[in-house]
Amino acid sequence: MQTFMDETFRAFRRPEQRRWAQAYLWALIHVSGKKTPRRMALAKPLPSAAAHGLHQFINASPWDWNPVRRRLARLVTASAAPHAWTVTELVIPKRGEHSVGVHRYVDTATGRAVNCQRAVGLFLASGHHSYPVDWRLVLGGAWDSDQERRRRARIPGTEGGRTVTDLIVEYAAEAATRYQLPGLPWVLDLTRYEDAAGVLAGLERLGADVVCEVPADLPVLASQHTSAVTTVGALMELRHARQTHVLLRHSADGHVRAVPVHTYAGTVNLPRPGNGTGSGTGISGGPGNGTGDDAGARPYRILERPGLDVRQPCRYWLTTLTDRRVEEILRLARSHSAALSAVTTLRHRFGVLDFEGRSFPGWHHHMTMASAAYVYQRLSGNACRATPPPDRPDPPDPPPRAPAASVTPAAALADAPN
């Protein structure tokens, strides 16, 4: 754990910050129940006065969370050989209205309006796991226009006015330079977003490869040379235009079941923005409203998995990886399920719902530490042996002196600033 901490927090300038970071991380991993500074400070060997220091480290200490997140991504890359990016939402229910970013939101899964923060998390997928490496808050409404509220929450002027679509595309635009991981496909579930076409159009502009679960009514062109806009679901209803693949699924009880998967016989394209369907996408949704010249440049393949019974609807995926086998595409698609599982663990074990401060930096500090705790848990078997590649240097800030050898230096924390 000490080696993991040294690698993760090496960007901190001050040794005191590193010691408080180590104490906070240790407490997130070892303390059960709600993860608040008061509760975490009750755990031995932390000193009895640690609650104030832990609170100050998260809410008041002016450390930059971005270098820590980059270190996490590099540790994951060095240890786990990621094969895809994925993004998922986190809804954090709140009672009041003063926490940064809190607003009323209608949950698409339940149809209920909740008072909450909404966050968009970026994950690196590897094997059966997904690792959180970045977070963004969805800010809008009063959080864009109320300058006094923004000042109290210490929201930078560059933050706000971005939808979930904007944040996903922004992640993709930054991935190659920020994390130095070009070429990984983006595995997304777009069935819960109102602007699925907008996300796909943004990723296409960036030239990103995708494996995206999409709604049946997503507009597509059957080829670049057609003049009719149809939908994914309507196209896959044409039995003569699809091919059937039979995959074998092994269940936990040892049984083998045949699972049919349909693919469209050809490739499809996305209509170009500018033909006017609303939702910010500018894509025409009615038959016969598109033109071949408006088709997107990249070909996509459609996969359909029928419901297991009549009560379950078909599921559809759109992918630019047209030369990959069906089994590989569906294996990549499971990366998003792994991210959902990671979010569940972050909620129940590492306290991503438990931040009690009201500031924008404080929220990002807490989310960064919770992500570090999760990454350590998953990589604990080999993270301490892995070091980032030498050709990916950290920012030029000089590293602080090495901290004391103790993982949780209680005596050093008793009177340490942060």
Give the integer Cα–Cα distance in Å for 355 and 119: 13
Give the integer Cα–Cα distance in Å for 207 and 227: 24
Spatial CB neighbours of 32, under 8 Å, sequence gap ≥ 6: none
Give the integer Cα–Cα distance in Å for 304 and 306: 6
Q: Which tokens sit at 174?
A: 């930054």
Nearest to 187 by CA among 122, 248, 134, 141: 122
Give the integer Cα–Cα distance in Å for 224 and 294: 8
Tokens 């009201």 sit at which residue? Answer: 358
Domain boundaries, the chain: 186-320
User: Whole-prediction pTM value?
Assistant: 0.84
Instruction: Point out which residues pair with 119 in neighbouring strands.
Output: 90, 137
What pLDDT score does 184 carry? 94
What pLDDT score does 192 carry? 86
With b for 16 or more beta-carbon neighbours within 10 A and e for fewer, the 56-95 pattern comes to ebbbebebbbebbbbbbbbbbbbbbebbbbbbbbbbbebe
What pLDDT score does 381 carry? 56
**378 φ, ψ to 5°?**
-75, -30
Question: DSSP character for 273?
Answer: T
**Encoded amino acid at 341, one letter:** S
Sequential pLDDT tens for the chain (418 residues)? 888 999 999 989 889 999 999 999 999 999 989 999 999 998 877 887 899 999 999 999 999 999 999 999 999 999 998 999 999 999 999 988 889 999 988 877 778 898 899 999 999 999 899 999 999 999 988 898 899 999 999 999 999 889 999 999 999 999 888 888 878 999 999 998 889 999 999 999 999 999 999 999 999 998 766 668 999 999 999 878 888 888 877 777 777 777 889 999 999 999 976 554 444 433 333 333 444 444 457 899 999 999 877 678 999 999 999 999 999 999 999 999 999 999 999 999 999 999 988 999 999 999 999 999 999 999 985 433 333 433 333 333 333 333 333 444 444 454 455 5
Q: Which tokens sit at 165?
A: 């679509």
What pLDDT score does 227 carry? 65
Cβ 163 vs Cβ 156: under 8 Å: no
